[in-house]
Structure 1
Amino acid sequence: MELRTRVVLQLAMATGAAASTLQMRWTTDAGACSSNGGQCNSLGPDGPWQAVMVTAGLENADSNSAAEVVDMPMWPAVGSISGVLTTSSGGEYNPFMSVSANKTGVRHDAFGPWLANLFINMTDEGPGYQEILRFKTSTDNSDELNATIVAAETWDIRMPTGAKYEAPAGFLGLGPSTAEDNKSIPPGLLDQLKAAGTITSNSFGLHMGSVALGQKGSLILGGYEQNRALGDVGVFELVNEVTRAFIVDLTLSVETGSSPFNQTGSMWKGVEGSEYGPDVTKNIGGVSGSAAILPSAVTPYIYLPPGNCEAVAEQLPVTFRQDLGLYTWNTEDPAYARIVNSPAYMGFVLADRTAQNITIKIPFKLLNLTLESPLVAEPTPYFPCKSVDSAYGVWQLGRAFLQGAFLGFNFEKSVMYMAQAPGPDMDQGVTRTLEVDDEVILSNAADTFEKTWRSQWTVLGGDETGSGEGGAETPNGSAPPAVGNDGQNAPGNKIGEAESANGDGETEENLGQVQEQGSLSVGAIAGVVVGVVAVLGLVASGLLFWRRRRRQAAKEDVPEKEWEAESASGVHFPGLGIKYEMYAPRVTHEAPGVELRHEMDGTGIGRRSMRISQDMYANRI
């Protein structure tokens, strides 16, 4: 083992998790992937992401035989079954080469936890095995654990075009076993660690962190890191491993300084764009207009009811790519850098079991992820918000969300925790043990959030709001005319000031101000007076002409309301400012709602599945 790796591991042992907890190692940690002699580093192709490391298999006692012991990247997940990538599905694990793999006789199809396989349009299937897993921790490998795994023979993720690519990691089932009456199925992995005295409770705390910003992830088994949770912590019920959590609002805002958006505040459109969302929300006790959500590290994006990602995208310099089913950033637009580098964020307002609202802020620095091959030919920044018309009536907050959110579970008390996570400059790590009877967790102060992000943000001044170098712009790059509250040219527009001169004394007052400033000669002032007289003459002539036309129109019995209707249309009278009042920010290549719904039907979340949704919620909760 190289010196650098030994030093890192020794420091981890000295400052690692508290007694009765295990701190997992990540793919981005030094020495995390020892089986292939290097580091796994980050994962794609829609990240960069980091996953925890797990070892599968046992060394063969016969030194003449090949031993199948492999290190595998895995996403933390609920559920008692783990999904493993095999050599036939893009991974390194081969059950036929493992001396410790025993077939269960059960074949698994669509085994993604919390419906993950449906949201990411994944085909996953394979036989079940009993296998030995060991967790790679900050100090060493954990004890041998008897796990139920699915050795995935197929694990493809389908794109809207029909193209497929292989999953980058498996998933690690950390939930309790649900087959208590089946003696052939071992207890859950955390149950085994608890029984061995390695951890105190059947629980864990997770923060995915950010690879792009150099923020290490955190997964503590039997506890959590206090510095990974800020402010109020929401507590949500778990019933049969399914959480009852709701998103009640979605906002655009800025933590400090001026906003880069033309519009801030609520962007939430509710679940009205979904056929089944309102019924499911009502059946499981959510407030009208809210949506049931499942946080999951297995899925990459933020999946919301139709209309919500679209509402946010209207304020962003993004283009919807039908071939990807995603929004990509318009990096040439000045608003792009202004938004992603500013203290702007998407706010997710969640209601917990006491109907207390918890707001989790995901800065746009975390929503500037990168698509890579095989999804695109060249690295492409994208916005990870995806509309889904879910026939389950439930949506997921995936890894993009969990970069900026703390997620914890205490299966002893059947509760889930969610809280604001810190930025890259977080406070010193303090690991806490979750006792069996703990229903609440400790957190750092909410007002430390800005401090943990300060080095990453460029605070905008008042003149930078929605502006590029050439003046006012919408976030997506179009430049609206300067307008006042009444739709006229805004104050400060010299043309507007000249046109406002009238016969009520304003012109004389302006001339007086010019004389006081001493910026014009007497001859120039005389010229201005002559010009004003000429303008007044033109105005008088125009009024006379208008009155004659009006009398003529009255004789022809033409209704005056017709003129008013034309002016209200904004077509024939742009000088009145009507055009400006009707202005809305341009959205580049917006995805039509109908096309988006058809695209989402392709994810496999079919309408036939509504009955399963009712079983999962109505019967269990």
Structure 2
Amino acid sequence: MEGYAFYSQNRFTIHRNGDLDQPGFLDGLAVLVSNNLTVNFPGGAAYTVDVGLFSLIGSQDEVRWTGTNGSNSFGNASLSTAYNKDYIPSISFGLHIGSVEPEIEGSLILGGYDSSRCITEPIVSDTTSFNLLDISLNVSRGASAFLKTTAKEVNGLLKVNGASSSGVKILPEPGLPYMYLPRDTCDAIAAHLPVSYNADFNIYLWDTDSPAYSDIVSSPHALAFSFENDGTTETINVPFALLNLTLDSPLTAGPTPYFPCSPWTATSDVPYTLGRAFLQAAFLSHNANTNKHFLAQAPGPDLLAKNVKRIGSTDTTLAGAVNAPDWDSTWERTLKALSSNSTSAPDPNSGSGQDSSSGISGGAIAGIVIGVVIVIAVAAGAYWFLARRRRQANPPAYDNTPSWAQKPPVNTMEMPTAAQVQGPYDPSPAKGYYGHNQAQPAHEAREMPATQPIPELESDSRSRAVELSTER
């Protein structure tokens, strides 16, 4: 990434219980405003950053930076500021990113979570990463259209250095777009799909001329991720309908569907990462007060009734939806089972993961148009993307600063300070994203709307969970 940006402080308004007559104010929040930041891809493609990133940092109260004149400035972080003002009961959130197409409304609750978005037993971790045991292909209803197999389930696709793996540490990261997995894993998955690897973007492009393409993305075919959870195994299924994403002009000459598996080599500092593509189908939560991280299956378009719950400052568990449906039942009206005579014959020449330019070149690619919002909320380098634009490729950079920990005191308002942001950019994970600390005690939960009032839970406490809703 290279170009210019400047930091400033802003006031955010929270309306208590969704009541516009009960405003609360978060003052001095750090905001980084783009003033011509450009992201470059390996193959020569580039785009100008114009999409905002809302920070959910829980690791500290303040963001510090040095201005061009050498002065030291700082601003507040949103979650800890809301917590310190008794607007939320804990430095926590519950997130389901959702999807634009198929339409699944996103959910973000500050200081709580919507239990209807958590339809399996939550996987709990004391660290920012989770233990991924395996990746599989499955077909929950009807016939299979996967290539090179007649089976409805293909296991053992988690591979590292040419061999099956018994497990890897992996980080869920809404601030990045793709699924950053071992090259051997991406290729093993791609072997059963009508896709080809494209080095210009380090992702796989769908072969839309293959009959298997439309069959796979329109029926209950899924990529299944199996995680270790206190001695048991929990699985999160991501339908391929959510993994049929699109590059568009001016990154490409026209709409170009892609499968968002991006080959990545992990190190002790830079883990494998599951970005927004995965989190369309997963529920993610974090309580910075107790350093607990939660991951679970999220529903499809057939959502349950909203049920917002608070996360207390001492909570170490979350309760999922009551009488939760199977993930597949929340997709029944959207994904139709294939009949046996509608499936595609296995194609020995497709899905090999071989390199393909697919007509894309650096000379034909300039940038990407992905919205009109230009404000980037920053918290110690931890960026969380909440503009749910699943059809765009927007891989922001991030550094090795954890996302949630520490609690230094802060309360200041500064004038905007210009700062230059310049350096190489690789649209891929960097270092760890979460942080750890013992935060300060207890406030009550409430909900915050972004575009309209939303009724809240009854509570006998000062505050309630705060929901941030978004408009497409």
Deviation, 1:447, is 3.5
Deviation, 1:315, is 0.6
Deviation, 1:226, is 0.8
Is 1:171 aligned with 2:53?
Answer: yes
State which of 346, 352, 367 in structure 1 corresponds to 2:223.
Answer: 346
Deviation, 1:181, is 12
Matched with 2:130 is: 245
Distance 1:178 1:313, change over 3 A: same
Letter of the 2:246 partner, please give it. T
Is 1:453 aligned with 2:331?
Answer: yes
1:553-579 deviation per Cα after TM superposition (whole angstroms, max 9, x unaligned): xxxxxxxxxxxxxxxxxxxxxxxxxxx
SS state of the match for residue 326, structure 2? helix
Q: After the TM superposition, which of the residue ranges 410-419 and 370-379 deviates more from structure 2?
A: 370-379
Higher helix share: 1
Distance 1:178 1:206, change over 3 A: same
Measure, in 2, the Cα distance between the counterparts of 1:446 and 1:224.
16
Matched with 2:167 is: 290
If the length of structure 1 is used for normalisation, what is the TM-score?
0.51
Structure 2: which 5+ residue stretches go unaligned? 65-71, 357-423, 436-472
Distance 1:312 1:434, change over 3 A: same
Matched with 2:312 is: 435
Distance 1:457 1:180, change over 3 A: closer
Deviation, 1:259, is 2.3
SS state of the match for residue 147, structure 1? strand
Matched with 2:383 is: none
- Give the aligned CA root-mean-square deviation in angstroms: 3.3
Distance 1:347 1:616, change over 3 A: closer
Is 1:590 aligned with 2:354?
Answer: yes
Letter of the 1:450 partner, please give it. D
Please list, as runs of the form range in 1=range in 2, the aligned pairs for 1:88-167 lying within 5 A after superposition: 122-123=1-2, 126-134=5-13, 140=20, 143-167=25-49
Measure, in 1, the Cα distance between the counterparts of 2:39 and 2:282.
25
Is 1:388 aligned with 2:253?
Answer: no
Measure, in 1, the Cα distance between the counterparts of 2:256 and 2:281.
22
Deviation, 1:218, is 0.3
Letter of the 1:175 partner, please give it. I
Asked if 1 retains the 8 angstrom alpha-carbon contact of 2:118 and 2:299, the reply is: yes
Letter of the 2:131 partner, please give it. F
Distance 1:151 1:355, change over 3 A: farther
Matched with 1:211 is: 100
1:275-333 deviation per Cα after TM superposition (whole angstroms, max 9, x unaligned): xxx9xxxxxxxxx7422222111211111111111111111111323333222222221
Higher strand share: 2
1:121-160 deviation per Cα after TM superposition (whole angstroms, max 9, x unaligned): x447645444334469965575233222333445322222
Asked if 2 retains the 8 angstrom alpha-carbon contact of 1:292 and 1:393, the reply is: no
Distance 1:345 1:131, change over 3 A: same
Deviation, 1:455, is 0.5
Asked if 1 retains the 8 angstrom alpha-carbon contact of 2:99 and 2:105, the reply is: yes
Asked if 1 retains the 8 angstrom alpha-carbon contact of 2:193 and 2:350, the reply is: no
Asked if 2 retains the 8 angstrom alpha-carbon contact of 1:252 and 1:347, the reply is: yes
Measure, in 2, the Cα distance between the counterparts of 1:374 and 1:439.
46
1:527-547 deviation per Cα after TM superposition (whole angstroms, max 9, x unaligned): xxxxxxxxxxxxxxxxxxxxx
If the length of structure 2 is used for normalisation, what is the TM-score?
0.67
Matched with 2:238 is: 362
Matched with 2:210 is: 333
Matched with 2:142 is: 257
Distance 1:588 1:270, change over 3 A: closer
**Which protein, 1 or 2, shows the higher relative CO under an 8 Å CA cutoff with sep ≥ 6?**
2
Matched with 1:373 is: 249
1:214-273 deviation per Cα after TM superposition (whole angstroms, max 9, x unaligned): 2111001110111101111101113xxxx1322221100012223222253224243336
Length, aligned pairs only = 352
State which of 273, 278, 282 in structure 2 corresponds to 1:405.
Answer: 282
Measure, in 1, the Cα distance between the counterparts of 2:235 and 2:4.
37
Deviation, 1:410, is 0.7
Measure, in 2, the Cα distance between the counterparts of 1:124 and 1:435.
41
Identity %: 32
Structure 1: which 5+ residue stretches go unaligned? 1-121, 279-287, 479-583, 593-601
SS state of the match for residue 311, structure 1? helix
Deviation, 1:458, is 1.3
SS state of the match for residue 232, structure 1? coil
Measure, in 2, the Cα distance between the counterparts of 1:360 and 1:196.
36
State which of 91, 101, 119 in structure 2 corresponds to 1:202.
Answer: 91
SS state of the match for residue 318, structure 2? coil
Measure, in 2, the Cα distance between the counterparts of 1:181 and 1:377.
40
Asked if 2 retains the 8 angstrom alpha-carbon contact of 1:232 and 1:446, the reply is: no
Measure, in 2, the Cα distance between the counterparts of 1:388 and 1:136.
42
Distance 1:168 1:390, change over 3 A: farther
Measure, in 1, the Cα distance between the counterparts of 2:304 and 2:61.
41
Matched with 2:445 is: none
Structure label with greater radius of gyration: 1
Deviation, 1:396, is 1.4
